């Protein structure tokens, strides 16, 4: 709940090590897109209208799922050159417009 970003990323690394060491899948539910990016290789996207109806996709590869989610919420992400972390592009910035034009909401190539 009140864990800073560095500790959350350490936790994501620990989860990844545990999964690889034990060869077991894990379900991680988090609201922090940085953690989701760090810990996931497949993602289930939930969408709908809160309190009325909701839907879930099948497990999707990370790029497909993130593009689907980010398009739905209308934001684009880039990877920070120095930290490697996801960063939200400013709305209607050059990068935001370019990524939306090519349908690449998650880390433009």
| pLDDT over threshold 60, residue 109 | no
Averaged pLDDT for residues 1-17? 88
Task: Give 108's pLDDT tier (boundaries 50, 70, 90).
Answer: low
Give the per-residue pLDDT at 83: 86
Q: Which residues contact 24 (CB under 8 A, 6 or more apart)?
A: 18
Residues 24-41 have pLDDT tens digits of: 889 999 888 888 999 999
Q: Tokens 């993602």 — which residue?
A: 43
Give the per-residue pLDDT at 32: 87
Pairing mode, strands 86-88 and 77-79: antiparallel
Taking the C-alpha atoms of residue 25 and residue 2, their distance in angstroms, rounded to an integer, is 26
| pTM to 2 decimal places | 0.84
Give the per-residue pLDDT at 84: 85
């Amino acid at each position: 709940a009140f864990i800073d970003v560095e500790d959350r990323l350490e936790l994501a690394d620990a989860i990844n090590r545990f999964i690889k060491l034990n060869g077991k899948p894990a379900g991680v539910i988090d609201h922090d897109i940085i953690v989701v990016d760090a810990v996931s290789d497949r993602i289930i996207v939930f969408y709908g209208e809160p309190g009325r109806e909701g839907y879930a996709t099948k497990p999707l590869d990370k790029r497909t799922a993130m593009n689907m989610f980010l398009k739905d919420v209308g934001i684009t992400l880039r990877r920070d050159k120095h930290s490697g972390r996801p960063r939200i592009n400013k709305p209607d910035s050059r990068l935001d417009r370019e990524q939306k034009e090519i349908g690449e909401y998650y880390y433009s190539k």
